Amino acid sequence: MVAGVAIAASYEVPPSRFPEVRPHNLYRQVAHAALSEWGLKPGDINGLLAVPSGQGINEIDIYTHEKLGSELGITPAFAETLNAGGASFAIMVGRAASAIRDGLADSILCIGTGKFTKPAEGGAGNMARMISEPDFEIGYGPFIPALYALIASRFMAESGVGPADLARVAVSARQWALRNPRALMHRKGAISVEDVLQSRMISTPLHYLDCSVPCDGGGAILVTTDEKARQLTRQPAYLLGYGEAHSHGSISAAGERLVQTLATRTGADAFKRAGLSPADMDMAMLYDAFSFTPLLLLENLGFAPAGQSAAMVQSGAIDPGGSLPVNTNGGLLSFGHTGESSGMSVIVEGVRQIMAQAGENQLDRARTALVHCYGGMMYEHATLILGRSR
């Protein structure tokens, strides 16, 4: 049990492209809009966590929290610009919970924005250099889809998952996006398994429609105490469980964790702290940079026995109306992959569902949610379990 910590509010810019907006200006816009929507004043925030802005466009600012804190007119007792890739935002919730328990702060703004260059505009090379070993990997032509494809190839060989199973995940994500007006692909129409398999090959087994949609965006959540949360909202999202783990820094060093990722540990830790099991979850948000990652995570997190994720997905279990709705906003695959802020969109959707604020794609039953994010090429992981009651 993660005692006494809850998320009291969330905010998100619908994913889009903002080529004219500089990274820090996007931060200003998101912060101002979030705090206005929540009805807060400067004295109401005493903690601030942000990610370095500009990662996706190679203009990294590691002093984001200083600038933003100053612009918000606050002098927080707890503030940091932290980075763990896609896992950053789930880890922010963990850091915020620790700070609240230590008495450092009790009203912590966790915020992120992201911009994503198109691979053809130099983004692929920038990102490849950031996440590869300079001396023993970069000469072989790695880039993000190909590195994920390596994981996919091994996972598929071990689990019996096939290309049509990957495609089925993308189909499900689009079904959710069609119900969510905020999703980037909301008006793009349904896709079929055949559409995915017929889309151009990027790096086997990943077709174009197996890849998430690069875009810009941002969001924020307010992490606070149970008591304060109840003053701010009728239905907070209580933090029931948390798990975090970090291992390697390049795919060559993954070893058996290439496929048996640290999600096995963070999921088990989070469930243990919450006193709950996968069967207790009403929904799951599973970071889906590519279509195979929800399959792998369903197995690693214990929602499906090893080798059974494909059957689970093919049965419609993760679709609208299914037994375990997954990525109910459309996921990174069809909601949009908002650059370095993508993990925030994963958390915000889990929070919205628990707080009954998910609008047209609100689930009938969302008492509990597992939210899982990872950073790097699945190198570091964090799992949150959120609930409507303690």
- Distance in Å, CB of 62 to other proteins, minimum: 24
Closest CA to 329 of 223, 213, 227, 224: 213
Scan for tokens 């790097």, then name that residue: 376
Rounded CA separation 147/64 (Å):
29
- Distance in Å, CB of 201 to other proteins, minimum: 5
Q: What angle do CA 73, 78, 84 make, to 5 degrees?
A: 110
Half-sphere exposure of residue 264, counting CA atoms within 13 Å on the CB side?
13
- Distance in Å, CB of 155 to other proteins, minimum: 9
Pick 195 or 269: Cβ nearer other proteins: 195
| Virtual torsion, Cα 294, 368, 364, 222, nearest 10 deg | -90
Preceding omega of 205 cis (within 30 degrees of 0): yes
- Widest Cα–Cα separation across the chain: 56
- Distance in Å, CB of 289 to other proteins, minimum: 15
Pick 129 or 230: Cβ nearer other proteins: 129
Pick 165 or 349: Cβ nearer other proteins: 165
Closest CA to 34 of 1, 7, 66: 7
Pick 159 or 383: Cβ nearer other proteins: 159
- Quick check: helix, strand or coil at residue 339? helix
Pick 251 or 317: Cβ nearer other proteins: 251
Q: What is the binding site for other proteins (CB under 8 A)?
A: 119, 122, 124-125, 128, 133-143, 145-147, 149-154, 157, 200-206, 251-255, 258
Scan for tokens 């933090």, then name that residue: 239
- Distance in Å, CB of 55 to other proteins, minimum: 17
Pick 24 or 257: Cβ nearer other proteins: 257
Pick 228 or 257: Cβ nearer other proteins: 257
- Distance in Å, CB of 127 to other proteins, minimum: 9
Pick 211 or 237: Cβ nearer other proteins: 211
The two structure tokens encoding residue 249: 């820094």
Label residues 131-157 b or e (16+ Cβ within 10 Å = b).
Answer: bbeeeebeeeebbbbbbbbbbbbebbe
The answer to whether 338 and 344 are in contact (CB under 8 A) is yes
- Distance in Å, CB of 194 to other proteins, minimum: 19
- Distance in Å, CB of 286 to other proteins, minimum: 21
Cβ neighbours for 390, distance < 8 A, ≥ 6 positions apart: 226, 238, 240
